Chains A and B, each alone.
Chain A
């Protein structure tokens, strides 16, 4: 059974710091891995999608890497801003999306 874990569960940092969020999964048989952003009481915004054959994807200040063999992905946020405060979810696609429990990020001025 696929299980997705995210560490840390919560993170509070001052503005400007570079951050690394971690996601691990137990079964490497995945089609792809996605990182989402969820604001309080809101739906999901897709940030990055990495296909199983890819190693990383970049979008602006965000960079996501994937090491399928070790069951790990990281989301790197450069020069964090207060507007980055949200919950970040990773999800693996194995015929259905299986989500981690998320990392709650707070960036303070």
Chain B
């Protein structure tokens, strides 16, 4: 149980385009979903926390207008990187939990390369 999927697993796009990444909890209802970013040889950094039906809470230094998060249902959250640039190239990982303080279950990640 507690499986989280992400789609796509890998995406290459041109600079200036927008990219949408989906995070799904397959066998449970996730009240809370988290989005992390991991640059090469660096640790995972929390970007934002989203609760179903409400606006996401962004960490300091993360541009909310650039990284749009939608958590419209208990099984799906999306992260849209708007007007992507090469410096946005990274590994994006989501996690989901039954509630904010519960165990987080991680997705397999999405590797984004912006040319």
The answer on A and B forming one complex is yes
Q: In the complex, which residues 89-103 of chain A have their Cβ closer than 8 Å to any Cβ of chain B?
A: 89, 91, 96-102
A-side binding surface: helix, strand, loop or mixed?
strand
Write out the residue numbers on chain B whose beta carbons fall within 8 Å of the beta carbon of A41: 91, 109, 111
Segment with Cβ contacts to B, from A13-21, A42-50, A58-66, A75-83: A42-50
Rounded to whole Å, the gap between the CB of B25 and the closest CB of chain A is 13
Q: Answer yes or no: B104 CB below 8 A from chain A CBs.
A: yes
Q: Which of B6, B34, B101, B104 has the most CB of A within 10 A?
A: B104
Write out the residue numbers on chain B whose beta carbons fall within 8 Å of the beta carbon of A4: 43
Q: Are B41 and A101 in contact (CB under 8 A)?
A: yes
Count of chain A residues with a beta carbon within 8 Å of a chain B beta carbon? 19
Given known A97-B104, A101-B41, contact A43–B93 (CB-CB < 8 A): yes
- In the complex, besides A42-B108, A43-B106, 9 extra interface pairs with C-beta distance below 8 angstroms are A4-B43, A36-B106, A41-B109, A42-B109, A43-B108, A46-B103, A46-B106, A99-B44, A101-B43
**Chain A interface residues (CB < 8 Å from chain B):** 4, 31, 36, 41-46, 49, 89, 91, 96-102
**Can you list 23 A-B contacts with CB-CB less than 8 angstroms, sorted by A residue number?**
A4-B43, A31-B101, A41-B91, A41-B109, A42-B109, A43-B106, A43-B107, A44-B106, A46-B103, A89-B43, A89-B44, A91-B44, A96-B34, A96-B49, A97-B44, A97-B46, A98-B46, A99-B45, A100-B43, A101-B41, A101-B42, A101-B43, A102-B43
